[in-house]
Structure 1
């Protein structure tokens, strides 16, 4: 999404929400791109910075995973193994 500076200032919360959702927000001034607002996790990844476990978990890395998905597991009994042998 592209925002003119004045509009980005007026709707800053919306700009931040979109950036946090993983959508880079480009800010323009007089029609020229001058800045981009991105999620802090993406910024740190681009800079090559390491993040701690708690910060990683707070970033919701499983957000795109369907946690309600059906898991197909075999229902047969395990095979017998002779351990004495």
Structure 2
């Protein structure tokens, strides 16, 4: 993966985009630190399709999240509470 300083990515965006489409993801750096990645749309869609929803998305979802399967309690009897001492 090629690294592009942000100023080069901005100044040569067409080349940056063409390199991404031809070679795959391209890293953008800001002050020498990795900041972002440009990926082709096909790879982005593949990644999105395989991603799990976040907890926030699950909690805000209008659709049912499915039934919670609980194991059976078994045949054991409950203990009787002992008298307070």
Which TM bucket (shorter chain)? 0.5 to 0.7
RMSD, aligned CA:
1.3
1:6 Cα deviation (Å)? 0.4
Q: How does 1:38-57 map to 2 (within 5 A)?
A: 38-48=39-49
Higher helix proportion: 2
Distance 1:14 1:20 in 2: 10
Residue of structure 2 in register with 1:20 after alignment: 21
Q: For the Cα contact (< 8 Å) 1:4–1:27, is it kept in 2?
A: yes
Aligned residue pairs, count: 49
Distance 1:22 1:43, change over 3 A: farther
Q: Which runs of 5+ in 2 are unaligned?
A: 51-85
Deviation >2 Å, runs of 4+: none
Residues 36-55 of structure 1, C-alpha deviations (whole Å, 9 max, x = no match): 00100100001117xxxxxx
Give 1 or 2 for the bigger CA radius of gyration.
2
Residue of structure 2 in register with 1:2 after alignment: 3
1:24 Cα deviation (Å)? 0.9
TM-score by length of 2: 0.54
